[in-house]
Chain A
Amino acid sequence: YVFFPGKPRWSRDVPMKLTYAFSKENLIDYVNISDIRAVFKRAFTKWGSVIPVSFVETDDYGFADIKIGFYRGDHGDGEPFDGVLGVLAHSFTPESGRFHLDAAERWAVDFKTEKSEVAVDLESVAIHEIGHLLGLSHSSVKDAVMYPTLKPRDKKLDLSLDDVNGVQALYGSNPNFTLSSLLESDISANQA
């Protein structure tokens, strides 16, 4: 695992609670918002299960710690998106909280119903970008969710030991986290 320069992290009272919200003006219209919310809830829960940080959705976009939106092309942060594939999403280091997805991608919440060859798994990208929001940079470990690439129609949903060690080095361990639960998850993923 790798940290950003200066090792930025969220500094709040423990147990830490971070809020997140979706930009109502910057969503995609072909995926139900309830499905998007469920995807992000699962993604945040995954990180929250290994560190003493909880994530709560809020309607108050202006005051949310983490602000999520789908944007197209030049969207004002100096890092324009590039259309289908190429760059899929980007987010910013703590404590910025900005989480931007490229609206030009064909985002999928279920590959059984989304047949596009260039469809990208929203949950996999959400898990990866949340890692950045928490302070992890890209890992060279190919199984890690913090590895920088993701092919269309691929999924990477399980935190690896590398991801867990990295985020726990920043925030400590969730008291309910056990290594065996992670290994069980790894084993079931490998069998699948």
Chain B
Amino acid sequence: ARSTPDYTSNQTQIQTHNISEIKKYFRRFGYLPLQDHHNVSGDTTFDEPLLFKSAILRYQSNLGLPITGKLDIETVSMIMAPRCGVPDSDASHQSMHAREN
């Protein structure tokens, strides 16, 4: 499935069904903090959607994609593509390579 992403479904379905996987991907490659921001009640803080949108924008910019700020087909297809495990340097969060140095 990873090799041949086939998104015939609409964008809403992508967002609702795969959002946690996409967040995991963004964390893995440095676009989101490693942990969710929670308030004292344990709820995700209100700024999380902003963080997520910012992550999408940075990802699209770093990968040379159209900068829409949305999980469009092109962006999701890129997320599904096989890739190098080195985090993207401009993703702004700490990477294993930053730690290495």
Binding site for B on A (CB under 8 A): 2-6, 8, 77-79, 81, 84-93, 96, 117-118, 120, 125, 128-129, 132, 137-138, 140-142, 147-152
Residue of A6, A77, A120 touching B82 (CB-CB under 8 A): A120
Q: Is B19 an interface residue (CB 8 A)?
A: no
A92 and B100 within 8 A (CB): yes
Residue on B with the closest CB to A93? B97
Residue of A78, A84, A88, A117 touching B83 (CB-CB under 8 A): A88
> Roughly how many angstroms separate A140 CA and B2 CA in the complex, as a whole number?
21
Residue on B with the closest CB to A138? B88
A140 and B3 within 8 A (CB): no
A56 to chain B, nearest CB (A): 24
Per-position binary interface string of chain B over residues 1-30, scored 1 when its CB falls under 8 Å from any chain A CB and 0 otherwise: 011000000000000000000000000000
B101 and A8 within 8 A (CB): yes
B3 and A152 within 8 A (CB): yes
A80 to chain B, nearest CB (A): 9
> Roughly how many angstroms separate A92 CA and B86 CA in the complex, as a whole number?
8
Which of chain B's residues have a CB closer than 8 A to the CB of A87?
82-85
Which of chain A's residues have a CB closer than 8 A to the CB of B101?
4-6, 8, 93
Q: Is B48 an interface residue (CB 8 A)?
A: no
Which of chain A's residues have a CB closer than 8 A to the CB of B81?
149-151
Which of chain A's residues have a CB closer than 8 A to the CB of B61?
140
> Roughly how many angstroms separate A191 CA and B20 CA in the complex, as a whole number?
42
> Roughly how many angstroms separate A78 CA and B98 CA in the complex, as a whole number?
13
Q: Is B90 an interface residue (CB 8 A)?
A: yes
A86 and B64 within 8 A (CB): no
Q: Is B96 an interface residue (CB 8 A)?
A: yes
Which of chain B's residues have a CB closer than 8 A to the CB of A86?
2, 82-83
Q: Is B54 an interface residue (CB 8 A)?
A: no
> Roughly how many angstroms separate A3 CA and B64 CA in the complex, as a whole number?
17
A128 and B82 within 8 A (CB): no
